[in-house]
Every structure is written in C-alpha cells, then in structure tokens.
Amino acid sequence: MKITIVGTGYVGLVTGTCFAEIGHEVLCVDNDTSKIEMLRRFEMPIYEKDLPELVKKNVHEKRLQFSTCIEEGNRFSEVIFVAVGTPPGYKGEANMSYVENVGRRVAETMDSYRLLVEKSTVPINTGEQLKRTISKYLSSDIDFDIASNPEFLREGTAIEDALNPDRIVVGIESVRAAELLRKIYAPIIERSGCEFLEMNIASAELTKHASNSFLAMKISFINAVSRICELAGADIQQVAHGMGLDKRISPNFLNAGVGYGGSCFPKDVDAFVHIADQYGYSFELLKEVQRINQSQREHFMQKLQRELWVTQDKTIAILGLAFKPGTDDIRQAPSLYFVPQLLEAKAKLKLWDPIAKAKFDEIHPTLNYYDTPIECATDADIVLILTDWPEIKSMDLDRLKSVMKCPAIIDGRNLFDPKEMKNKKISYYSIGRTH
Ligand code: UGA
C-alpha cells in the first residue's frame, strides 16, 4: 500500500521506516528542509539502534522516500499519518497548531477520499477537531475519515517495539477506515500475533494517555516506596522483586531511581492532568505522581549535599546524560536538572555519556566531556550515576577507586550491590536501600 507520514520526528520516522520494511511504499514528509536533506544523505536526526540501516535498505529498495512538500504527500496516498509535534504549552496543555496545520493543508488540496490518522500523542477530541477543520477547509463535498492510532514504541527499542507491538489500537468511525488500517498492519499482526483493537476515536486517544500515565504512576509508586525503605531499613529491590512476581503487578517499571524523564512521560502526564481539568475532573492521583517525581530529584540532591558538605570546588563526575540508555535524547533528563544547580554551586564538573554527549554539548559547550567512565571519574571527589548505561555497570570498581580523589558514589539507578561497595570501602548511596 502507499502511505504518507507527515512529521519525521521519533514516531514518524520509525513508523514510516517500519511500514516500508513490512512492504509498503512510504513517503515521509517534513517541512524542515535540513532534516529531509539529512535523511536523503542517510544521516539520522535522532539516534536509534538499527534505524540508519533500515532507512538505507528501504530507500535503496524504493519503498521509502522523503519530501518537504505536504501537497506531494497528499497526492501520494489516500492514507496520511499525522506524526507532527505536540509540544507542551504554558500550562502543560499540548500545542496543537502543527496538527491543525496539517489538517488544513490536506483539506485544501484534497480531490478524493483521504484517511487522516492521528499518530502523535494528542488530547482527547483531537479527532473531532480535525474533522471540523477538514470539513471547513474542503473546497467540495469529498468523503474523508479520521482515525486515531496511538504509538507505544520506546526510544532505544523503537524498531523492535514498532514491528512487534503488544497491541495495535485504532480509533475509527467507519468500516472503510478500519479496513484500510487493518490492511496496513496485516504483516505486523501476522508476525507478532498481537491484537488489533478497534474502538471509537476518543477511546483510542484516551488509551494512549492512560497507558503512559499509568506507567509513570508505577514508577512514582515504587519511588515513594523507596523513600519508606530508606527510613525503615528495607531494600527496595527486594520489595520490588517480591511485588513483581505477582503476575497482576509484573516486574516491569518497578525500578526505583532518580525519577522518570524523556520526551513522553513528563509531557504526557502534564497533558493528561490538563485534559482532565478541562473536563472538570481534578486528577489528584496524577498530580501526586508529578510531585513524587520532582521530590525524587530533590532527595538525590540532598544525598549529594550530605556527602560533600560543601559543593564549591569539589570535582563531581557525572556518568550518564541521556534520560535512559540506548538513546541520545536528553529531554527532561535528570542530568539537565542537576548540572545547572551544581554549576551554580561552583562545583567542577566532569561528564560522560556514550551517545548523548553531543546533544548535551550543544547546551553546555564549555563543560568537560570524557571518553570513558574511568577517565571521567579520575580525580573526582564523587561520582553521580544518572543513567543505567551498561558501560557504567561493567566498570572495574577497583580501578575506579584507585583513580578517584575520594571513593564515593551516589547511584541514581541502583546499579551496584551495596555490600560489595562496603567490602571495597567505597562510600556508596543508592535509592531505597540501606547501606
Ligand atoms: C514511553 C513509553 O514507555 C512508551 O510506551 C511510549 O510509546 C513512549 O513513552 C511515548 O509516549 O512515545 P520512553 O519515553 O521512550 O517510552 O521511555 P521509557 O522506557 O518508558 O522510560 C521513561 C522514563 O522512565 C525513563 O526516564 C526511565 O529511566 C524511567 N523508568 C522506567 C524508571 O525510572 N523506572 C522504571 O522501572 C522504568
């Protein structure tokens, strides 16, 4: 089938590439000329495992192409996926101007049936709004459909998630739209055996918000329990293990840490709280999820201050700048919270990250970046672990101890065993465990 994808951010580019990989003919459109030029040179605007190889392969096999022209995208296919940004506004509400703009421009140049599929995470009732916009700007009485098809892929495992999803959710209003989407997804349903869930558009939109917010709530829950563990002399990893073996709870998303980050959870929880408010429901549970997440960062900072006593002129090695391993994404990463505060406190910072260094350097170009965790920790008074990169977990701890000024670690990801640290005489503080 021919498919147009508008927006070549994380979701758009991965979705388009995966649709091409399963045999469709895909045109990815973006109004950012430099991005499209990069993609045509096979340079990726984002870091994602296996993406460059898949883009190259599918372009060479003539199933994937790029354009800056939305009208070309409109002519290319009767199915148009909208994967443009919905950045947060002043009160946490999503800015819908990019989505609205796509709807308007498609309507203005539409000459036959089109199915517009919302792929970006959008507030409930975006489907209704898009329908109104298209009807308003259509020049003649042409049939069209709107559908919602939220994406559940994670950064770092995006290709695997897109090709082998747990479920495919579609919000539809017509048999024609359902059939088109089922046909598009048939190869994925066949290879993954996942369910194809049809529901109304508002339910599909809400499923996305509820899923991300539920996962954020799970993380805040375990983080709150970790605080009690510290006070009560319990171990959060043993508690989480004990909870997670209950199939109804599951062990996933029960890792206590320095709080969730990234481009999705913080933004989506904010947006869901805002949407609920608009509907007249004050979502106190989610507001508490946000508060716990913030407090987890502050608590980590207090641990650092307690250990250092005075921060000024101390050399602090920060291991991990990305919001999670496997990505160069630093949006809402813990590193972006701690670095400005430590600079303000006049600490000397040394930074390490295997992939996100370049992105961080764009924001903090005067800081010192190192190639390995050990080089970064050399002469440091303390090491902060902010991302669970495997390179940190596999560090030679004896070597680390020998290069540091004072062997001390504050671990925001619980990568090491406190007993081992004690034996090695390294001061070690982690999350929700007594030391
Ligand atoms: C998240 C969802 O997991 C995806 O299903 C969804 O499609 C995506 O948002 C989106 O809306 O686009 P992502 O932001 O890539 O995916 O990352 P996650 O793996 O979910 O991690 C989010 C944050 O939670 C990270 O900061 C991670 O370190 C933290 N986390 C995760 C924990 O602190 N503890 C855990 O147990 C799990």
Write out pLDDT tens, residues 158-197: 999 999 999 999 999 999 999 999 999 999 999 999 999 9
How far apart (Å, rounded) are the C-alpha atoms in residues 84 and 87? 10
Residues 187 and 23 sit within 8 Å (Cβ to Cβ): yes
**Residue 60 pLDDT greater than 80, yes or no:** yes
Ligand 1 midpoint to CA 202 (Å): 23
pLDDT of residue 187: 97
Q: What is the mean pLDDT of residues 119-127?
A: 89
How far apart (Å, rounded) are the C-alpha atoms in residues 73 and 77? 7
- Atom 2 (ligand 1) nearest CA: 154
- Atom 33 (ligand 1) nearest CA: 260
Q: Distance of CA 302 to CAs 186, 297, 299, 309, 332, Å?
A: 52, 9, 5, 10, 20
Kindly report the length of the chain.
435
Work out whether the CA dihedral 286, 12, 100, 129 comes out positive or negative.
negative
Ligand 1 within 6 A of CB of 328: no
Ligand 1 within 6 A of CB of 262: yes
At 61, list the tokens: 């096999």
Beta strands in 172-229 (DSSP E): 195-199
154 Cα nearest atom in ligand 1: 15
Work out whether the CA dihedral 218, 322, 295, 384 comes out positive or negative.
positive
pLDDT of residue 425: 96
Q: What is the mean pLDDT of residues 236-257?
A: 98
212 Cα nearest atom in ligand 1: 2
Give 91's pLDDT tier (boundaries 50, 70, 90).
Answer: confident
Residues 303 and 410 sit within 8 Å (Cβ to Cβ): yes
Ligand 1 within 6 A of CB of 121: yes
Residues 43 and 34 sit within 8 Å (Cβ to Cβ): no
pLDDT of residue 84: 96
Residues 386 and 341 sit within 8 Å (Cβ to Cβ): no
Start-end of CATH 3.40.50.720 domains in the chain: 2-198, 227-429
150 Cα nearest atom in ligand 1: 7
Percentage of the chain exceeding pLDDT 70: 100
Best residue among 154, 225, 327 to mutate for probing ligand 1, ranked by most atoms within 8 Å of CB: 154
pLDDT of residue 341: 97
Ligand 1 within 6 A of CB of 257: yes
H or E stretch covering 81: strand 79-82
**CA-atom Rg of the chain in angstroms:** 24
How far apart (Å, rounded) are the C-alpha atoms in residues 145 and 139? 16
CATH number of 227-429: 3.40.50.720
How far apart (Å, rounded) are the C-alpha atoms in residues 316 and 351? 8
Angle at 352 between CA 290 and CA 254, to 5 degrees: 35
How far apart (Å, rounded) are the C-alpha atoms in residues 403 and 389? 20
Please provide the average confidence, as pLDDT, over all residues in the chain: 96
Q: Which of 370, 5, 331, 385 has its CA nearest to residue 162?
A: 5
Q: Which residues form the catalytic set? A: 264
How far apart (Å, rounded) are the C-alpha atoms in residues 303 and 43? 41
How far apart (Å, rounded) are the C-alpha atoms in residues 433 and 435? 6
Ligand 1 within 6 A of CB of 327: no
Ligand 1 midpoint to CA 149 (Å): 19
Ligand 1 within 6 A of CB of 39: no
List, for residues 291-317, the tens digit of each pLDDT value. Answer: 999 999 999 999 999 999 999 999 999
Side by side, the strands of the sheet bearing 79-82 are 64-67, 25-29, 2-6, 79-82, 114-118, 144-148, 167-171, 195-199
Best residue among 155, 225, 254, 386 to mutate for probing ligand 1, ranked by most atoms within 8 Å of CB: 155
Q: What is the mean pLDDT of residues 402-423?
A: 97
- What amino acid occupies position 246? D
Residues 202 and 146 sit within 8 Å (Cβ to Cβ): no
pLDDT of residue 123: 87
pLDDT of residue 94: 82
pLDDT of residue 139: 85
Ligand 1 within 6 A of CB of 254: yes
Ligand 1 within 6 A of CB of 264: yes
How far apart (Å, rounded) are the C-alpha atoms in residues 281 and 104? 31
pLDDT of residue 272: 94
Helix axes 334-344 and 284-308, enclosed angle (nearest 10): 40
Ligand 1 within 6 A of CB of 337: no
**Residue 424 pLDDT greater than 90, yes or no:** yes
DSSP tag of 94:
B
Ligand 1 midpoint to CA 262 (Å): 7
252 Cα nearest atom in ligand 1: 36
CATH architecture, domain defined by 2-198: 3-Layer(aba) Sandwich (3.40)
Helices and strands of the chain, counted as H and E runs: 18, 14
- What amino acid occupies position 368? N
Q: Is the pTM of this model over 0.85?
A: yes
